[in-house]
Chains A and B, each alone.
Chain A
């Protein structure tokens, strides 16, 4: 008798322990189960949670919900690290076959592994239906087409090859104009150093890669630069070696040793006048104009990085249609919003980027953005893609470059770096 009572108690407890987690998991499943017609909700995954980009996304969501009043917008933004945190969360969800209705991705080869894995739908039909192929510049459409198919809708265009400076600092140092070539930059840097000003401020690893791509672009020109990513330019050639040597010299004039923890504090040094230049993408404009309340041209100014005038080194945020999206109809409507003039004009002035469409409303873009838009829409502008922001290298190749560059920045061994990158290209193309 004693045994059986104890047994029953044990059995009961065991059953309760098993049932407990089972209950909670079934409760979790309930709120995502409205899969039937599925047009009451759309879940959009992005890393737009920081200042500027959040306002831009909100403006686009507002426009979306007025057009599609029946759809509840579920903003699944993951903050931090220029999207690195979001990408980790996303990879887990995609592998678990639990995709959002649409997710943000840098346009270009960053999407290659998702296409290969069959995670995203071919949405060329949306391009035909909306006539987008005529509305986006040809250089951009080519860059996002993979084997004749298009898998994402670009919302905005950022420019990577920009050199930011404070006109007052240059004046104080007796420098009349920013440099046109990296060689001229090095001469100016020596002058600046003698006056106790850091020539170039720099931030964490990815900003060093951002600098590298623009040194390579300025030193090699557009064709050879593009060749670095498709195998037609040899990483171990004399020209590339010379460009990489220039890069180490430029770093020698930077504040690499006490590098800032992020790009904003690196720009702060330019604002304060302790550093003269900073190479950063045009999201810097929103920061300087907004958070720092500076006036374009007088408080801060910008030119193309040395040797890259007339070139648009672009990166772009785009949205996709995942295979198995729970609310496909609503997701398509979201993509149409992303590609529309109203959507792009709502988002871009806030984010500090230019619209991918060439027929956008010019009056909404002022100061830096007006100049950038004019350049983007100019048919003579050459378009190349950014390395640090996922356009020209697939994730595996880029990951190996990231590591090799970190070692290179520390030991300055040009031959070893070129060799490592060339090997990584062969292994991951």
Chain B
């Protein structure tokens, strides 16, 4: 479970987030929704520890980064918006390195990885360097290395851009498997139709503040739009006068 409490933060002298609070429960998929510049990526950077909050706390299963950075990071698997791979390592070695870094059992993890590799049609490219991969393939590599772990919190930044429809479908399947296994999933996205269909709860960010959080039903009630889709609610939010 991810708990973000009164988080205020941003870059050195540019505060981006103001008093952000939300939770993602075990076995829950949370959609982080907002315009460009609303603070989605900044929120994620705080959760993974790249940025340090000026106020507030972030805890995964009651453990904060300050208490034990290694144990904190052990609980996270992250798929960044832009894939980052090592130019000197083959696909197979990326998987070995991840196994090594997280201290995973090699045999069991390879079994999981093999299944994911086959799913994303990467199983015949184990000896390739990242240079030879297209952007979509690189993203799939990131997904494989993240989802073969037993993380408690999966953070996926804009997962659907650049993936082919088949891969989007497969990704949603494995996300739901992790959900069923009890992990928390935090997913930022602009693809509202997909988010509406798969996420259990939504965190609507506007100008660095949480406009509202809840299930689609709760959002409909909050905005007084009974028949609305997530898309309609989002449009309504963008038309509201800015809070700051």
Do A and B bind?
Answer: no
